[in-house]
Chain A
Amino acid sequence: MEYDIIVIGGAAAGLTAALYSARQGMKTLVITKDIGGQALLTNEIQNYPGYDLVDGFSLLNKFREEAEAFGSEFLYDEVTSLKKENDKFILKTNDKEIISRAVILAFGKTPRDLNVPGETSFKGHGVSYCAICDGPLFRNRDVAVYGNGEHAIQAVIYLSSVVKKVYFITRAKKIIGDDELVSTLNSLKNVEIFKDSSLLSISGDTSVKSIKIKDNSSGIERDINTGAVFAEMGYIARTDFVKGIVKLNESNEIIVDSYCKTSEEGIFACGDVTNTPYKQVVISAGHGATAALSAYNYVQNKKGKVASKSDWKLVNTVKTK
């Protein structure tokens, strides 16, 4: 199988890149584990222009439909390796090998692990990385949230409305965040906050029963009975499989220029996986369009054809809904 452009990742950046790429007549394939990425973790997106309020799934599913309508193909799998050979790229998935002239990296970010004993064995059995997905499964029970920052505060506030009690364990000495969020947090009766504290371990039988935490200034350890631990440690770019191929910054984000070009000719990147400063759906979408137009121009040059600067044309969809 050979494509003009392969997009790795199926969320705001990748799906927009696929839409633009397919509209330019490029034979386009999206390889992705899922559709929506981090946008699936929110029930409400309030700042996507043109929509008053939309949930992440509906918005991103619409992106997918549009990309598909213009001819993008989809493969729901993981890319395990990427290498360049004679001006073309060879991508391997679990059981396929696919060739492409250009590649767009758009696989976003994934939640950072807790890195404590018990995390791996209780994944899906009390250890969760998605408060809005799994919170309601712990109705009438006590849960813990471990992490820092506004994402963590939002998770605590949300969980306090569905579970019995929330223990908020944070390494921060002071809760910092949006004033309104912090005052809401402080007003909640069923939340107990442990500042300047670290999570040491997670224990249980078939699911989580308790956690051990340590007060960092006094060194005192204590056990807390809880049915779940929600990880809110922020998000990281899992760029290991492109390390050594494209340049990364100190946060392992892919470094791109304003054309979304990476350090390797023919490889482009867009969205949260790059060093773009703001992580927003609308920014990722714009970034995806940039990457696709740059990739299109690159492929046209390689084919000895004329390139273009924009996508101001009417194109018929290949599929009718």
Chain B
Amino acid sequence: MESNMGKNNVRVLTDSTFDSFVRSPKLSVVDFWAAWCAPCRYLSPVVEELSSEYSDRANFGKLNVDENPSISTLLRIESIPTLLFFKNGKIVDVSIGVVPKEKLVQKIKSLA
């Protein structure tokens, strides 16, 4: 079973740490997930892999929508898994649902 933190470069974000994380001029990729969401359990390890392979191009984070309702409500997260791509605090791309890893690689390459 994949652990929710550690062993990779995915930062565990909270309502209070989220803002400063996505404000970076470097591309930030945030995985919005919850324990009850099985497709999230598939996608989160993919994000972990990406975080080790593309750490030079982007910062990777994950936010549990159950434990951090303020940010998820503010950003209107209404389907999970959702990946949001940020630069300088602004959303530059969105990916909703389970998508193949290759597609995410392409997004990261084109956005970073």
* Residues in A lying within 8 Å of B, measured CB to CB: 32-36, 40-43, 55-58, 61, 75-78, 93-95, 123-126, 128, 130, 132-134, 136-138, 206-207, 227-228
List B residues 51-90 near A (Cβ within 8 Å). Answer: 65-66, 72, 76-80, 82
Interface residues of B (CB under 8 A from A): 1, 34, 36-43, 46, 65-66, 72, 76-80, 82, 94, 96-103, 106
Say whether A40 contacts B39, CB under 8 Å: yes
Our pick among B46, B80, B94 for the contact of A134 (Cβ within 8 Å) is B80
Determine the chain B residues whose CB is within 8 A of the CB of A133 once the complex forms: 36-40, 79-80
State in angstroms the CA–CA spacing of A93 and B105 once bound together. 14
Whether A136 lies near B34 (C-beta < 8 A) is yes
The answer to whether residues A134 and B100 also contact, given A36-B42, A40-B39 and a CB cut-off of 8 A, is no
Contact B82 A94 (CB under 8 A): no
Q: A57-B41, A76-B101, A137-B72 are in contact. List 20 more A-B contacts (CB 8 A).
A: A33-B99, A33-B100, A34-B39, A57-B38, A57-B42, A61-B41, A76-B46, A76-B100, A93-B102, A94-B106, A124-B97, A128-B78, A133-B39, A133-B40, A134-B78, A134-B79, A137-B78, A137-B79, A138-B78, A227-B78
The CB with the most chain A CB atoms within 10 A, among B46, B79, B98, is that of B79
Question: Could you say which residues of chain B place their CB within 8 Å of the CB of A206?
Answer: 76
Least CB distance, B97 to chain A, in whole angstroms? 7
Query: Given A41-B38, A124-B97 in contact, is the A137-B102 Cβ separation under 8 Å?
Result: no
Residues of the B chain whose Cβ atoms lie less than 8 Å from the Cβ of A93 = 102
Contacts between the two chains (Cβ within 8 Å), count: 87
Q: Is there an interface contact between B38 and A40, defined as CB atoms closer than 8 Å?
A: yes
- Residue among A56, A138, A227, A228 making CB contact with B38, cutoff 8 Å: A56
Instruction: Find chain B residues with CB under 8 A from A132 CB.
Output: 36-38
| CA–CA, A277 and B103, complex, Å | 34
- B1, B37, B43: which has the most chain A beta carbons within 10 Å? B37
Which residues on B sit within 8 Å (CB–CB) of A76? 46, 100-102
Do A95 and B102 touch across chains, with their CB atoms under 8 A apart?
yes
How near does chain B come to A44, taking the closest CB pair, in angstroms?
11
| Measured CA separation A207–B82 after assembly (Å) | 15
What are the residues of chain A within 8 A of B34 when measuring CB–CB? 136
| Residue in contact with A36 in the complex, picked from B38, B101, B103, CB distance below 8 Å | B38
Closest residue of A by beta carbon distance from B40:
A133
Name the A residues within 8 Å of B72 (CB-CB): 137
B96 to chain A: which residues have CB within 8 Å?
Answer: 123-124
Residue numbers in A under 8 Å from B46 (CB-CB): 76
Q: For B43, what are the chain A residues with a Cβ–Cβ distance below 8 Å?
A: 34
The closest CB in chain B to the CB of A75 belongs to B102
